[in-house]
Structure 1
Amino acid sequence: MADSRIKTLRPAELDVEQKALYDSIVTGPRAQGPQLFALQDDEGRLNGPFGLMLHVPGLGSALQELGSAVRYRTAMTARIREIAILTVAAATESEFERYAHERVGHAVGLSAKETTALRSGEFRSEDTTEQAAYDVCRRLLAGADTLGDEDFRRFEAGLGHSALLELVVLVGYYRTLSQMMNVFGVGAPAGLEDE
């Protein structure tokens, strides 16, 4: 991806509201446990969508909180969550989301073969719930803003209404992040795009 179209802010450049958001990101659940992708660069600047969020902290705080809820406070399995996120990354050609979530995906049990299949849009799972979740995401990302009645009933029967709602929110959230990064030219950290 081309160079970023927006300045990545160093911690010393942040105002009070930006600093509060920065602190919530670097001390929140994303920073706990093993660091599977670089949240910050060597100067403390936030990578990916998090650096963008700092530019509009009122909106960024809400986005960051929604993202935290999607990642850490849903009933979906970690595998299903990462399948869904990587499906969005592939459909939106989001370099950062692919970089970050292939690492998370491998940590939660996705094989290299599965992440390659997700990249190419050819994922298949023997697990019917995983396959249904993938199919919902693909359908929503193919330009359909809704599901027809028959598809809705089939997916709701396979997933349950709560899981279906969680997936719809996840797709919308990660599509928003991907769009932000695509518009502002934010990719994976330099040198790590194809790791």
Structure 2
Amino acid sequence: MTTDPTTRQHAFTPGELDGDRLALYRSITEGPRAKGPRLFALVSDDGVLQGPFNEFLLRPALGDALQRLGAAVRYEGALSGRSREMAILVVAAHWDSAFERTAHEAVGRAAGLTEAELAAIAAGAPLDLDDPVEAAVLRLARALAAGDVDDATWAACVPPLDRETVFEVTTLVGYYATLALQMRAFRV
């Protein structure tokens, strides 16, 4: 295990992994994130996990729980791709998380977000969306990132969102805020 002093990151290469760390590495690199189009690099040229995933290997039991939650949020939720990526990008903008912004802008483009929409989300600017569900997800995610969902925001978002969707959005925002915090602490 090598430590990069500029990032505080412990760069685990595949050759040094065994046991729970190797199992977690394989779960991340062979699971749903590795399927389909690769819109951002999951591993570096030397096999080190990118973004938040390398640090998951520090405590494999916790890292596995986090990666399973992230996979559920991204691949098993009911949000549309556009709505999901808007909410993720709100968190990336709020925490100034470069990895999440870069990775999820690519995913957002593939889900149909325009350059103007991506720019507005990154800037926290108003965004006029025709779809009332997308507009509510964006408003709710911004409120959550800011720290609370006041009564006016709740009334504007529920409906068109139902409580199940609010639960999904709060889980998504909480998960990506956790990743942003970890990447900030480890200077990833």
Range of TM-score over shorter length: over 0.9
CA RMSD of aligned residues (A): 1.3
Q: Residue 93 of structure 2: which of 90, 94, 109 is its match? A: 90
- Tell me, yes or no, if structure 1 residue 162 matches structure 2 residue 164: yes
**Equivalent residues, number:** 183
Structure 2 unaligned residues grouped into runs of 5+: none
How far does residue 3 in structure 1 lie from its aligned partner after superposition? 2.9
**Alignment match, 2:35:** 32
1:11-34: CA deviations, max 9, x gaps? Answer: 011131000000001111110011
> Tell me, what secondary structure is at the counterpart of 2:71?
helix
The answer on whether the counterparts of 1:37 and 1:100 sit within 8 Å (CA) in structure 2 is yes
What is residue 126 of structure 1 aligned with on the other side? 130
Query: What TM-score, normalized by structure 1, do the two folds share?
Result: 0.90
**Which of 5, 12, 15 is the equivalent residue of 2:18?**
15
* 1:139 alignment counterpart: 143
Note if contact 1:117-1:123 (Cα within 8 Å) is conserved in structure 2: yes
What is the TM-score with the length of structure 2 in the denominator?
A: 0.93
Q: CA deviation at 1:140?
A: 1.0
Give the fraction of aligned pairs with identical amino acids, expressed as a percent: 46
Q: Given residue 62 of structure 1, which amino acid in structure 2 is its aligned partner?
A: A
Stretches of structure 1 that go unaligned for 5 or more consecutive residues are: 187-195
**Distance (Å, rounded) in 1 between the aligned partners of 2:14 and 2:126:** 40
Alignment partner of 1:109 is 2:112: yes
Question: Please, which of 173, 176, 182 is the counterpart of residue 174 of structure 1?
Answer: 176
| Cα deviation code 1:97-126 (max 9, x no counterpart) | 001000000011011111111110114112
* Partners of 2:139 and 2:153 within 8 A in 1: no
**Aligned AA for 2:180?**
S
Give the distance between the partners of 1:105 and 1:151, measured in 2 at CA.
24
Point out which structure has higher relative CO (alpha carbons under 8 A, 6+ apart).
1
Deviation at 1:92, TM superposition (A): 0.5
Q: Which residue does the alignment assign to 1:190?
A: none
| Code of the aligned partner of 1:176 | T
Give, in whole Å, the separation in 1 of the partners of 2:183 and 2:132: 32
Distance 1:42 1:165 in 2: 37
